[in-house]
């Protein structure tokens, strides 16, 4: 069993909780903060001598190619997070294919080697999408979050309950973990990492890891308490996006210190 570390590299305004306030046609007009926050993550990883997988949004790569080169140069894995951060199940197969292909075409010239993995925006994976990943000659996906009740996660037909599964199309699916507390609670990171006190979260990680591979994820904006606050979005969205941003970097430091991490692709090779 291993601990797999990943970061979804997107700007604060790409998050779906922010979409009611910042539409797609406003992205170029608002303050971008992803470059500085991603570099801060790279500094933390260097401090603890840890390598990770960075699922980079194509829009970020096109607008900040230098950060993709830095990620790659420092020995981390670069994978695709799509281009426009649109939910997959709201797109046609042709739109999904075009979005993922565009992201790969932006990312590959910036790195040594080629992109091998993918994570869907907000884990909105579908059966059609993984077939498209196979058609585009990617090797793995890490988007399946098999919990119920979340308003954005997608669904994927899985041949087994294993943590890493080879699908019929040939794609290896690296699933995200949940903790069974009478109800399955997402425990892979993101907002849940910010909400849950660290010691409780750490014990949950240990419990999950005793049974399966543990996959963790975070965004650069999760460690950015200085990002612009959007008061007009719904209260539930504000709570999900802004809670404990000022505490996350310290928690991430503790997490990097407490467990032995590796990139996703390395665990599959």
At 265 the three-state DSSP class reads helix
Domain limits, the chain: 3-268
As a whole-number percent, the residues of the chain with pLDDT over 90 amount to: 90
pLDDT digits (tens, 9 = 90+) for 30-83: 999 999 999 999 999 999 999 999 999 999 999 999 999 999 999 999 999 999
- Could you tell me which of 143, 135, 27 has the C-alpha nearest to residue 84? 27
The predicted pLDDT at position 242 comes to 96
The predicted pLDDT at position 151 comes to 61
pLDDT digits (tens, 9 = 90+) for 141-173: 999 987 665 567 778 887 778 999 999 999 999
Strands 164-166 and 140-141, by their bridges, are unpaired
The predicted pLDDT at position 153 comes to 76
The predicted pLDDT at position 246 comes to 98
Query: Which helix (H) or strand (E) element contains residue 205?
Result: helix 198-209
pTM confidence score: 0.96
The predicted pLDDT at position 148 comes to 61
The predicted pLDDT at position 198 comes to 98
For residues 60 and 12, give the distance between their C-alpha atoms in angstroms, rounded to a whole number.
Answer: 11
CATH code of domain 3-268 = 3.20.20.370
């Amino acid at each position: 069993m291993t601990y797999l570390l990943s970061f979804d590299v997107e700007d604060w305004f790409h998050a779906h909780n922010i979409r009611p306030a910042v539409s797609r046609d406003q992205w170029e007009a608002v303050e971008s903060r992803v470059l500085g926050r991603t570099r801060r993550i790279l500094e933390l990883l260097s401090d603890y001598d840890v390598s990770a997988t960075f699922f980079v949004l194509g829009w970020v790569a096109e607008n900040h190619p230098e950060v993709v080169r830095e990620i790659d140069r420092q020995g981390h894995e670069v994978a695709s997070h799509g281009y426009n951060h649109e939910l997959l199940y709201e797109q046609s197969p042709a739109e999904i294919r075009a979005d993922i292909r565009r992201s790969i075409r932006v990312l590959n010239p910036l790195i040594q080697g080629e992109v091998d993995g993918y994570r869907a925006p907000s884990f909105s994976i579908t059966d059609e999408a993984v077939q498209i990943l196979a058609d585009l000659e990617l090797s793995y996906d890490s988007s399946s979050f098999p919990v119920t009740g979340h308003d954005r996660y997608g669904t994927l037909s899985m041949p087994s309950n294993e943590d890493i599964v080879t699908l019929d199309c040939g794609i290896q699916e690296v699933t995200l973990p949940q903790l069974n507390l009478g109800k399955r609670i997402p425990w892979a990171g993101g907002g849940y990492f910010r909400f849950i006190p660290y010691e409780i979260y750490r014990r949950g990680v240990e419990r999950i890891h005793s049974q399966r591979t543990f996959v963790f994820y975070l965004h650069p904006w999760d460690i950015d308490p200085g990002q612009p606050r959007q008061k007009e979005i719904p209260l539930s969205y504000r709570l999900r996006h802004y809670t404990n941003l000022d505490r996350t970097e310290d928690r991430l430091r503790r997490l990097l210190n407490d467990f032995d991490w590796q990139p996703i692709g390395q665990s599959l090779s």
